[in-house]
Chains A and B, each alone.
Chain A
Amino acid sequence: MADHIVSAFTDELDRLSADILRMGGIVEQMIADAASAVLHNDVQLAGDVIERDHQVDQIEGDVERQIVSLIARRQPMAHDLRSVFAALKVSGELERVGDLSKNMSKRALGLEAAVFPAMRSGVARMAQPVARQLHLVLDAYASGNAAAAKAVWESDDEIDQHYNALFREMLTYMIEDPRSISDGAHMLFMAKNLERIGDHCTNIAEFVYFQVTGEHLVQQDRPKY
């Protein structure tokens, strides 16, 4: 798309999406690191993830300020308006994703060291497609690719199925060994967090799709809880 006649307007929009992508990068890494901390019982890494959530919150506040100023001064229209709106929503979603990752890390710190490795690896395994979803949707955001965003939106099923499978697996472990119930409950919450992150990715995909096309993805009978 051609640049604005007022080039500062283009610069401000560019900076906004760069901040979103930076935030997305951090959050993506947080998911992976949180999963790794769970898998390896890495206290150091878990603390690190918790630490990084502050950074995400700061970027989100900054993005909000930028957006308020941009609306007040530039009165964006059409695609610009949708970009700003999407940026606002996406930053909110990413902040939530950051929070969920932080929550996972906190729970990882509370796990018994002797928790079943199989349970740990189950959560870590689920984190992979979730992180990939986030990665894909951020790519779609960066490149303004509505089709890619729609693909992410449609593939949320996969994560839901993953979650259901993990849920049943955890229940099995906890029935077999009641000592694992405390850790298992934590694990269930982690799995739920990952599933929520998947939902947030879906939301981001909707905003990206709206930003690019101006149309809303209609809620079809997508599997939902």
Chain B
Amino acid sequence: MSEQALSSFGTDRARKRLRRRRAADRRFKWYGRAAIGFALAALALLLASIFSQALSAATYHVVSFRIDAGRVVAAENTSGALKEVYDQVRADLFEAFPDASGTPAGRQEVSALVTRLAALPIAERLRASPARRGMEQVSLPLSDDVDLYLKGAAARQVTINFGPVAAEPTEDGQGVRLSGAGAFARLIAAASLEHANVTDVSFLVTGGRSTVRLTRLSADEAEGSLIAGTASEFGNRALCARIILAPQSERTVSDRQIAWALALKADGRVRRVPHWSLLTHTDSTQPELAGALAAIVGSFLTLLVTASLAIPVGILASIYLEEFAPKNRLTSLIEVNINNLAAVPSIVFGLLGAAVFLGVMGLPRSAPIVGGLVLALLILPVVIIASRAALKAVPDSIRQGALAVGASRMQTVFHHVLPLAAPGMLTGAILGMARALGETAPLLLIGMVAFVADVPRGPGDEASALPVLIYSWATQAERAWEPMTGAVILILLAFLIAMNVAVVYLRHKFERRW
């Protein structure tokens, strides 16, 4: 049987077996590639969705105002200065849109273009340099709803450029009549495509600083009420029609606010700028004002506490267990328990932290010191396991060589074993820190989810942390939080990637092979 198989490479059976074996090889390779492909696709999908979500948060719209700095500086305190700035901003807006400013409702609608708190950084900045006098050019972020509209994310809309057409004021002086042979055919066609008509949704036609909301539309003529600017502005110029497909009642931004924002934009007062305040501002109730600075600093302080506790304790424990402890029942019990501890859900550590650090020891709630302590406990087993693995990887021949020239146990470990294990131990420590950076659940339980408006100055101050900030922003109702959340996720990912790159670098630089 076997002799026959050996003596003949060319038999049908041999060929068949060969084909089957090669097919099995190929199949296996493809399974592997498919698995890797699946993992990569999932990762790419995740990153793409976060990136696309975060992209619109990379920039935002600001409006420029001219402020009398002297009056702001003269205010008694910050809240007075804030009031002064915001009053001037509002006055500026009322002046720009006088027709709406007659009624309290209209004044409120105009004021909503810029949030009151958005004036706070300006007020603080101006007060910080009291020597300033005279008019200052300042930029305030538009409110998140208007900002989202301008980014095209608030509601679906169809935009059609047309004109020029003839324009005349209507009889009551409140409206505009636009006419031109067949000028509106494209607009009607687009509207019918979307099953939209002027009674249900807003048809806004903008010319320069002025906007009209259509109430009647035919192929040759359109009529509507003026919501910003004057009728005279529509004549003989290119116009832009916007069909906003969500009815006004279902939007957070009104037609008039849209018209005003477009008018400000036409004036060149609205600019789209990089959203640096995401990194320099602290948390806020208003998305356009909110930033992750407090969370970044909080995370940093928390990790500082974690690192200064978990790394020395973990490394010393692992050195003792691996190099000095006798191998007996007790140490193997400890070993098993360390491994078990590494698998305990992180929320359990949070409960423990809340009970012990807050309850028994009376440490401050929401403080990085408590968060750091809890996370240190959480990653301690990870650090110990990684460090022990690094120590185990040092070949025994090195220890024997050192012992044989008369080095003591301690000298052997510190002169020979540790230098070789250090890169691996450091890798374990950094990976543990990366895990700590991403942990949310234990921090929720010790109160680090609280709204923190100030940058913490020490580990005892109230603070938040990046993953917790993501959690709290992700649970907000307003649309504008969504891209903001994505942006903070990216910040967190950037930190994690930086730490992992550090691991790879350290490994490459210091790792030794035998």
Q: Do A and B touch directly, given a CB cutoff of 8 Å in the complex?
A: no
Chain B positions within 8 Å of A, measured between CB atoms, are none
Query: Chain A interface (Cβ within 8 Å of chain B)?
Result: none
